[in-house]
Structure 1
């Protein structure tokens, strides 16, 4: 009963508020959706404390979904430790985002629609993380994509919001195509889409091969690579990341929900859930590690030059997702999910804190037009520092425990790919501290750079917005120290209870015995990044301009986000539009319409024009036509008679 309530209550409230939005006031819609998510979060925590101490999960069948030949599966809820960790994280963050939205969206014209979309988004994520088979997981996967489209484009009057929603939808479809191919591959070779059957059969076919794309592939490698390519789309890994920064066009609560606990973590969850398959393919694990490390480095470099406060945090999300993936790639699955959980708290805190700043600054998002406001909004300022320190990985905040474990695991793992991940992680830790300090300095410190009219209205957000910030700050401080032993410490085997792959003496165990210098390196690098940020943006604010002027090519390269969008526009978008115009103007309009309905209409119109000239009311012309016609008939009869 707890599982059903947790998963389906958000759907019920979304349907109720969405279908009856015209009958509900903004206040009633907010109360219904917030109450539903609050009860769902409570049930998820009760479920957590029911499942984890017992060390045993269960599968709750709801109904037979499909049965066609060899393809048969139920709609069922798979409840184990991995599921309940995701359930508690998603529902807790979503509930706080719902409450925050009551204040943030108070003046919007479509509050019931917005709250219904948030609850629907949460339901699909819950369906995804409780799936017992790949088809059900894909159902939740696509539902999350649909909901993100609705939420990113919520302010549909803005062309930029519409463009961002379409971009997110289309880029994710690229990843989803590979995910579908991965599902087809698994069903073809495993004979099932049920997780239990797949995990049982996997070792016996680990060395089978299949011919695909003009080469022979190991079946396990092919399936895992296809699944990971699908995960890259949802989790915005390098190459399929371009939708993530543009998603900032949605309201700030949407950004917090997408980036903290729902959509972008779906890919991380997928790889963790399928860990029994990934560990059987060294090629797939190497790919996950390298792509994750590359994403972490790429996004961190770009975040150092962005000026929109939400975009800086967005690229931070992209970078932290890279950490999660290379943790999974080196085999530290518990560390990857640990960082997913801690990151959810401090990233939601940063986004909602940014929303509080934007609210105070009369909807201004450009950090170059802020400054000098820390005394005016002291609570928001304190919350942003807590979120930033957790993001940097400063002790004793949550990020220190989860991120440092990932870096130590990368060092302890064997192989060139783990070495790449380790050194990339050290550099990224420095950059993360630098751009986080830069964000704090530009936003809150220095002389005010906003108009006097804006500065006169700077004020702290209402309690309905600041209370979620305080609760998230508690998580950003305590989640790491409270979860360390269970997620990656001595109690991890009893905690995970087989829901992810882990064995005594694996890379997570080795991570606890790395040299002291390795343990201290991330913290030292983070402190160096903080110092650099203070020097550049507090003590010597003229330095950033000088550095940008001294290295203009590098600065423009980072400012333009490595030119991914420009390359994609040149290689894919413009050719696609050109082909579309060709088929539209030449194929559709000239050929199909020209020879089809338009051609027939022209012939009919021409004939009508000719006959209309005859029917002009003149008796002489009627007589001429009659004589002409009679002559034609007589001529035809004579020719027929003498043939």
Structure 2
């Protein structure tokens, strides 16, 4: 607890005072959050071994006296101790406001609130437990208790709208992109292309002699075209590609596509 004259009072409370000295409202919800954890974490709590106890004892002694002794050296006004370790923008310097601008009541408010809360809890749960139990007997009290006990329904909203939305997005990406697009243009699509190409080539075997003769002629034309293509395309390459030669190429590929069906119909 950040009790006055202890180290936490000069560190954690100073952070709150400096933040309050900025006079901004953003981030104030952090003051209303309550730490919670699953029940298994609390059941697993146990005493620390001696190798952990010794450093904790040293730290506890420092937490009692070090803050009061070294306050001025670390966070004192005008002190340049460790001032160059971290850059601080001039617009964010509010140490003067935190030290002299805030009322004393605000600085003591954490300690007062802690003592008041501890005393109130001790009184309600030990002196008048019937009053605490009776708070949940009405509809409003039960709804308020359920809301606060459910951590302000943060988990419900987080799981329903953020976690489920992320899982649905991951499912869509997995089905459409990973197992859809990548497989379509990857192994699955490549295997289908090879299979279909093999079937197309196999369909050229019609058993008709004239078809075989046409294949030989097309192969010879292709071979001649490959040999003389550099010579043909040197002069007026653009006109040659988009001129009369493109018609021959279209006839060639059309023959490759339409020839199997023509051979089957003739047989």
Q: TM-score range by the shorter chain?
A: 0.5 to 0.7
Match of 1:523 in 2: 111
Distance 1:545 1:602, change over 3 A: farther
Cα distance between partner residues in 2 of 1:587 and 1:502: 49
Match of 2:67 in 1: 480
CA shift, 1:524, in A, is 0.9
Match of 1:579 in 2: 173
Match of 1:401 in 2: 10
Distance 1:423 1:635, change over 3 A: closer
CA shift, 1:486, in A, is 1.6
Cα distance between partner residues in 1 of 2:135 and 2:171: 41
Residue pair 2:6, 2:64 contacting (<8 A) in 1 also: yes
Residue pair 2:77, 2:95 contacting (<8 A) in 1 also: no
Structure 2 counterpart SS, 1:496? coil
Match of 2:76 among 489, 509, 526: 489
Residue pair 2:7, 2:68 contacting (<8 A) in 1 also: yes
Cα distance between partner residues in 1 of 2:85 and 2:72: 16
Match of 1:550 in 2: 143
Cα distance between partner residues in 2 of 1:459 and 1:424: 32
Match of 1:633 in 2: 209
Cα distance between partner residues in 2 of 1:471 and 1:582: 58
Structure 1 counterpart SS, 2:172? helix
Cα-to-partner distance string for 1:488-546 (whole Å, 9 max, x where unaligned)? 2145235525854488xx63123222322222222111222323444566664994896
Q: Is 1:509 matched with 2:96?
A: yes
Q: Matched residue pairs, number?
A: 201
Structure 2 counterpart SS, 1:522? helix
Q: Which has the higher contact order (CA 8 A, sep 6+)?
A: 2
Distance 1:515 1:545, change over 3 A: same
Cα distance between partner residues in 1 of 2:211 and 2:89: 100
Match of 1:470 in 2: 57
CA shift, 1:596, in A, is 1.0
Q: Is 1:593 matched with 2:181?
A: no
Match of 1:96 in 2: none
Cα distance between partner residues in 2 of 1:394 and 1:553: 31
Match of 1:248 in 2: none
Q: How does 1:29-428 map to 2 (within 5 A)?
A: 389=1, 393-413=2-22, 415=23, 417=24, 420=25, 427-428=31-32
Residue pair 1:593, 1:599 contacting (<8 A) in 2 also: no
Cα distance between partner residues in 2 of 1:407 and 1:636: 90
Cα distance between partner residues in 1 of 2:189 and 2:125: 67
Cα distance between partner residues in 1 of 2:62 and 2:123: 30
Cα distance between partner residues in 1 of 2:133 and 2:196: 67
Cα-to-partner distance string for 1:189-209 (whole Å, 9 max, x where unaligned)? xxxxxxxxxxxxxxxxxxxxx
Cα distance between partner residues in 1 of 2:130 and 2:55: 33
Residue pair 2:74, 2:81 contacting (<8 A) in 1 also: no
Match of 1:566 among 149, 152, 160: 160
Please identify which structure carries the higher strand content: 1
Cα distance between partner residues in 2 of 1:398 and 1:595: 67
The gaps in structure 2 that reach 5 residues or longer are 37-41, 217-267
TM-score by length of 2: 0.53
Structure 2 counterpart SS, 1:512? helix
Larger radius of gyration: 2
Cα distance between partner residues in 2 of 1:402 and 1:482: 13
Cα distance between partner residues in 1 of 2:116 and 2:131: 19
Cα distance between partner residues in 2 of 1:466 and 1:498: 31
Cα distance between partner residues in 2 of 1:488 and 1:465: 29
Cα distance between partner residues in 2 of 1:544 and 1:568: 35
Structure 2 counterpart SS, 1:493? coil
CA shift, 1:603, in A, is 6.0
The gaps in structure 1 that reach 5 residues or longer are 1-388, 437-442, 444-449, 611-624
